[in-house]
A = this chain, B = another copy of it.
Amino acid sequence: MPKARLEAFADGIFAIAATLLTLNLAVNEHSPLAGELMRIWPGYAAYAISFTTIGIIWMNHHLLLHQISHTDRFFLLLNVLFLMLIAFIPFPTRLLALYINADGAQAAAFAYGITLTLTAILFNAIWRYAAWGRRLIRQDADARVVSGIGRSYLPGPFIYLAATLVALVSPQVSAGLYAAIAVFYVLESSVFGRE
């Protein structure tokens, strides 16, 4: 079974989920616009964090599929479940933007973190399933690259779970951690990762 249509379906979900984030931005039409555009700054921040996070996951999914020679039905299923979480991201992003400075900040930051934690768990599951006994791995894939990828994906769920639990103490710190994680992955993948 060729992987080209999985790539097309996945690229579609990534692109749409990222672009739908725009619909979360809205101003109150009964207040002066200039003030409104400043008041909704958490909306811009949430947009940037989620778009960047989706972009980084897309890049990593791209790299993961690059090591794969073929797919099977269970691999496709894991990907469908994974993409179900990617497509879900605009919803907790809207919550984070609307509630971070209001009652409900804790629930919003918690919902956001749980979503990304589950996404990271499924991303690992996809890779473990593919790499187990090199089930779906390309013949010519370098063994060190394969084990290196596995190691680099492992901390993701724990990092997001930790930031999620911080939401129970301080939702604002938790939101700052989500931003910091995105910036870290950006630097790690694009600056440190270049050799």
With a cutoff of 8 Å between Cβ atoms, the chain B residues found around residue A98 in the complex are 29
Flag if B14 contacts A11 (CB, 8 Å). no
1/0 contact string of A18-51 vs chain B (CB within 8 Å): 1111110101010011100100000000011001
Interface members, chain A 3-27 (any B CB < 8 Å): 5, 7-9, 11-23, 25, 27
Q: Are A76 and B22 in contact (CB under 8 A)?
A: no
Q: Does A133 touch B at the CB level, under 8 Å?
A: no
Query: From DSSP, what is the main secondary structure of chain A's interface residues?
Result: helix
Total interface residues in chain A, CB < 8 Å: 65
Protomer copies: 4
Interface residues of A in 56-115 (CB under 8 A from B): 56, 58-59, 62-63, 66, 72-74, 76-77, 80-81, 83-84, 87-88, 90-91, 95, 98-99, 103-104, 106-108, 111
CA of A92 to CA of B80 in the docked complex: distance in angstroms? 21
Smallest CB-CB separation from A62: which chain B residue?
B5
Please determine whether B22 and A20 come into contact, CB atoms closer than 8 angstroms. yes
Q: Does A169 contact B (CB under 8 A)?
A: no
Distance in angstroms between the alpha carbons of A9 and B18 in the assembled complex: 10
Q: Does A172 contact B (CB under 8 A)?
A: no
Q: Does A191 interact with chain B (Cβ within 8 Å)?
A: yes
- In the complex, residue of chain B having the shortest beta-carbon distance to the beta carbon of A10: B15
Residue A147 is within 8 A (CB to CB) of chain B in the complex: no
CA distance A8 to B11 in the complex (A): 7
